[in-house]
């Protein structure tokens, strides 16, 4: 399949050079088709870098023909192939070109989608900048659901990069907004739960007992705000057991609580990391007391 892709690419380049025999539209259309066909062959063969290059060549032709819509689509597809080929910088470069096109045409929903894509493949402050921009676009267009999804991506990214306070703030803010929206209210409990996990990750050894008091206060407040966050829920049980384990400085109880919860309701990577931070602090505290 890869060899067939190579042959199609060669045919496409030849088609572009045959300007003495074909009209411009004929040669470019033929070359464009060859490059698209080549990208399909490369994808099937797992030659993602070559697929990205083929799609980029197709986008070049679409640009020359004044087909902005085709160009944007092909650049996005090329960026996706660059990501699969672990060529993130090349993908970001193409996504930025697509973003500028959508922004210029005031196609803000499409611009937001591209901003989100960039935010997902970059890291640190740059990722936050693009995700925040996406959220603003969605908010300006009245797309509350998509705006919330992007903000939660921001919260998860902040947690993964160690900004637990920033993550906690977003989780809580989104939970409060969910309470005021009938369609989203069912998500409030899970968002409050994540906010509490982020609070656990913010604890420090030197002020652990004070921190667990703050955690309890937040827990009580969230239960008052969301009556579904009650003793019958798995999330409530875990937070209750975590608080007791910290107060009694019992590392085994802390680990048992997490294990029991995870066996029934699997934790995601972000949640596990936040709980692990709390475990490390408790472990240090217990070790110092021995």
The phi, psi pair for 182, rounded to 5°, reads: -55, -40
* DSSP characters over the chain: -HHHHHHHHHHHHHHHH-TTTS-HHHHHHHHHHHHHHHHHHHHHHT-HHHHHHHHHHHHHHHHHTT-HHHHHHHHHHHHHHHHHTT-HHHHHHHHHHHHHHHHHTT-HHHHHHHHHHHHHHS-HHHHHHHHHHHHHHHHHTT-HHHHHHHHHHHHHHHHHTT-HHHHHHHHHHHHHHHHT-TTTGGGHHHHHHHHHHHHHHT--GGGHHHHHHHHHHHHHHHHHH-TTSSTTSHHHHHHHHHHHHHHTT-HHHHHHHHHHHHHHS---HHHHHHHHHHHHHHHHHHHHH-
For 252-280, the pLDDT digits (tens) are 999 999 999 999 999 999 999 999 999 99
Report the pLDDT value the prediction gives residue 27, as an integer from 0 to 100: 62
Report the pLDDT value the prediction gives residue 245, as an integer from 0 to 100: 97
One domain for residues 95 and 14: yes
Report the pLDDT value the prediction gives residue 20, as an integer from 0 to 100: 45
Domain boundary residue, one of 100, 135, 150: 100
Question: How many beta carbons lie within 10 A of that of residue 109, not counting itself?
Answer: 14
Half-sphere exposure of 215 (CA within 13 A, CB side): 30
One domain for residues 44 and 129: no
Q: Which two tokens stand for residue 70?
A: 């085709």
CATH number at residue 286: 1.25.40.10
Report the distance separating Cα 187 and Cα 165, nearest Å. 20
Report the pLDDT value the prediction gives residue 24, as an integer from 0 to 100: 54
Residue with tokens 């496409």: 12
Residues with pLDDT less than 50, the chain:
20-21, 23
Q: Say if CB 105 and CB 67 are below 8 A apart.
A: no
One domain for residues 288 and 170: yes
Q: How far apart are the first and last CA of the chain?
A: 65
One domain for residues 68 and 189: no
Domain count, the chain: 3
Report the pLDDT value the prediction gives residue 69, as an integer from 0 to 100: 95
One domain for residues 166 and 286: yes
Report the pLDDT value the prediction gives residue 137, as an integer from 0 to 100: 98
Report the pLDDT value the prediction gives residue 196, as an integer from 0 to 100: 99
Segments forming the whole domain that contains residue 290: 162-290
């Amino acid at each position: 399949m890869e060899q067939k892709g190579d042959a199609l690419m060669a045919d496409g380049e030849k088609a572009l050079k045959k300007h003495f025999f074909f009209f411009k539209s004929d040669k470019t259309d033929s070359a464009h088709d060859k490059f698209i066909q080549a990208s399909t062959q490369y994808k099937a063969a797992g030659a993602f870098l070559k697929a990205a290059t083929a799609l980029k060549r197709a986008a070049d032709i679409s640009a020359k023909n004044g087909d902005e819509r085709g160009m944007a689509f092909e650049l996005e597809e090329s960026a996706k192939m660059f990501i699969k080929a672990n060529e993130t910088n090349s993908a970001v470069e193409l996504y930025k070109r697509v973003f500028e096109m959508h922004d210029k045409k005031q196609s803000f929903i499409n611009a937001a989608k591209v901003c989100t894509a960039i935010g997902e493949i970059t890291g640190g402050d740059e990722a936050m900048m693009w995700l925040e921009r996406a959220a603003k676009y969605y908010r300006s267009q009245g797309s509350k659901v998509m705006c919330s999804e992007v903000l939660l991506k921001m919260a998860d990214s902040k947690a993964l990069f160690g900004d637990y306070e920033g993550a906690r703030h977003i989780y809580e803010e989104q939970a409060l907004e969910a309470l005021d929206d009938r369609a989203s209210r069912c998500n409030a409990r899970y968002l409050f739960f994540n906010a509490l996990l982020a609070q656990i990750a913010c604890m420090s050894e030197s002020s652990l007992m004070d921190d667990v008091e703050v955690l309890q206060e937040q827990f009580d407040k969230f239960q008052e705000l969301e009556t579904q966050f009650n003793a019958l829920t798995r999330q409530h049980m875990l937070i209750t057991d975590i608080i007791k384990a910290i107060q009694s400085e019992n590392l085994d109880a802390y680990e048992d609580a997490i294990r029991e919860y995870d066996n029934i309701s699997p934790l995601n990577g972000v949640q596990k990391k936040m709980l692990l931070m709390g475990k490390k602090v408790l472990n240090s505290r217990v070790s110092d007391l021995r």
